[in-house]
Amino acid sequence: MKGREIRAAPEKRGPHIARTTVRYQINNNKDEDVGLQAANAAEQAGETVWAHRGQIYQTWQHRSKGNEQKTEGSNSQSHWQQKQQLKRRYISEHHGKQTAGQTARKTESAAEKLENFTHKHRRFLLALAIGGLLLFVVQSFSALTPLMEAALHSMAMGTFPAEEKDILAAEHYYRNKELTMEDELIFYEHYHPGYDYYSDALDEIWHDPYALIALISAYRDGEEWTIEDAVPIMDMLFDWQYSKSEELTNQQFYHAETVDGEEKLVGYIETTCNVILANNNLSHAPVYIMDDEKVGLYALYMSTLGNMPDLFYGLHCSRLTEPMEYDIPQELLDADPKFASLAKAANECLGYPYVWGGYKQETSFDCSGFISWLFTSTGVDDIGHLGATGLYNRSQKVTPEEAKPGDVVFFQGTMGGEVGGVTHCGLYVGNNMMIHCCNPCSYADLTDYYWRQHFLGFGRLYAH
């Protein structure tokens, strides 16, 4: 919480007031009917075949009649035989002519038609080929279908159920409420006159945009929403996050005045308005305003950042980070079965997001909730749900030289200098490594400067 010097009311300080302006901005050919054309092409081809057949039949009839006139003296049997011979000879001759000439032309014509059809329908044929390939791949890997469906379902579940324009509008709305409040606090004496002096003790005004959108989405049980749906939820969240109050202090003063030639002390009272603003941290809201199921949904959105990890930028904006992985030496696991069970449970939670107040898998964890769950769920030590300070007080203190895998390592000052005492903890796994729930659950190297700077000590929760 930041403090500011006491300042006089405007009439005591003169008319000039320097006003600051705060700005906020959020970056911010026709398809061919292939089926119809194919039908037309087939119909035209059929008509050509039948027309050609008709020509052959008519020519054969004409020649037969001519030969009949030349053979009038023949008997009916020889006449019929001659007609059959003429018919066979004509068909044979006609077929020979086609073989010699028309077949070549037909071959050329067919090739041209095929080329024209291929060029005209190249997009369709390409799409057909790609579709066939995809079908082959899908059929080849049909055994992976359940896994693919699970992955797609998980991706869909972790995606913010709103359009980007509505998400950006929601962030803009909430930020504008903060800016309006900030303007009121800066010029409080103008919005709330009547006091002699003003002072304030103000927390920083900020929020995590991803926490805001995840809260809205989880509060609505993952149902699709628009900016109109989100406004009443944001008004409720704003009132929860920021609490503003006034404390008035009166002080008696005296000054000398001359009355009827006689000097007297005259008393008067000056009133100071102390303005206090507390930021309860929007990321802490889930465990206060939602049930476990909704908190779990909030954790899912935060683990994926709604599948929009590049939508927001800023100092207080969450970032997706991959958990650090580490293989605990087998000899350490074999040496202590209780530690082995703790390590197995911890590894199952790698990548879980940090959720303030979370203490089980359904809601995800904070640092102390993670340690409490590990020991309680495995039966190593049924400690229930303790905070970091509670874990520290419960544990037997050991030196770094005495520390063993399965002990708890504690830290201080990780939440800023204003927050004292134990502020973080993790499970020690040996070789200067720990696993802890930060953001997300991950392994960490205790020799890193940050952890050495904030190291407080080791504690032991079970005998080993």
Residue 448 near residue 384 (C-beta atoms within 8 A) = no
What is the pTM for the complete model shown? 0.67
The CATH number of 330-460, from 3.90.1720.10, 2.30.30.100, 3.90.650.10, 3.20.20.70, is: 3.90.1720.10
**Residue 85: what pLDDT?**
53
pLDDT of residue 37: 40
102 pLDDT more than 70? no
Task: Indicate where the chain has its CATH 3.90.1720.10 domain(s).
Answer: 330-460
Going by C-beta distance under 8 Å and a sequence separation of 6 or more, which residues neighbour residue 28?
Answer: 168, 172
Q: What is the pLDDT of residue 137?
A: 53
Neighbours of 184 (CB within 10 A): 14
- Averaged pLDDT of the chain: 79
| Contact yes or no for 165/142 (Cβ under 8 A) | no
How distant, in Å, are the alpha carbons of 401, 415, 428 from that of 449? Answer: 19, 16, 17
State yes or no: pLDDT of 55 exceeds 50: no
φ and ψ of 79, to 5 deg: -60, -45
Q: What is the pLDDT of residue 218?
A: 98
Q: Which of 55-69, 204-218, 262-276, 322-336 has the lowest mean pLDDT?
A: 55-69
CA distance 66 to 233: 100
* CB count in 10 Å sphere of residue 87: 14
Rounded mean pLDDT, 153-160: 76
Q: Which long-range contacts (CB under 8 A, 24 or more apart) does 115-123 make?
A: 117/41, 120/32, 121/32, 121/34
What are the φ/ψ torsions at residue 160 (nearest 5 degrees)?
Answer: -55, 130
pLDDT by residue (tens digit) across 258-284? 878 888 888 889 999 999 999 999 999
Cβ contacts of residue 90 below 8 Å, gap of 6+? 59, 60, 63
- Judged against a pLDDT cut of 90, whether residue 185 lies above it is answered with yes
Question: What is the band of 430 on the pLDDT scale with cuts at 50, 70, 90?
Answer: very high
pLDDT in tens, 299-338: 999 999 999 999 997 778 999 999 999 999 999 999 999 9
Structure tokens at 133: 């390939």
Determine the pLDDT at residue 130: 66
- The CA-atom distances, in angstroms, between 416 and each of 1, 75, 422, 454 are 11, 126, 12, 11
Retrieve residue 233's tokens: 């939820």
Task: Taking residues 90-107, report their average pLDDT.
Answer: 48
Q: Given this model, what pLDDT does residue 414 score?
A: 94
- pLDDT greater than 90 at residue 111: no
pLDDT at 76 over 70: no
Would you tell me how many other CB atoms lie within 10 Å of the CB of residue 440?
Answer: 20
CA atoms within 13 A on the CB side of 234: 25
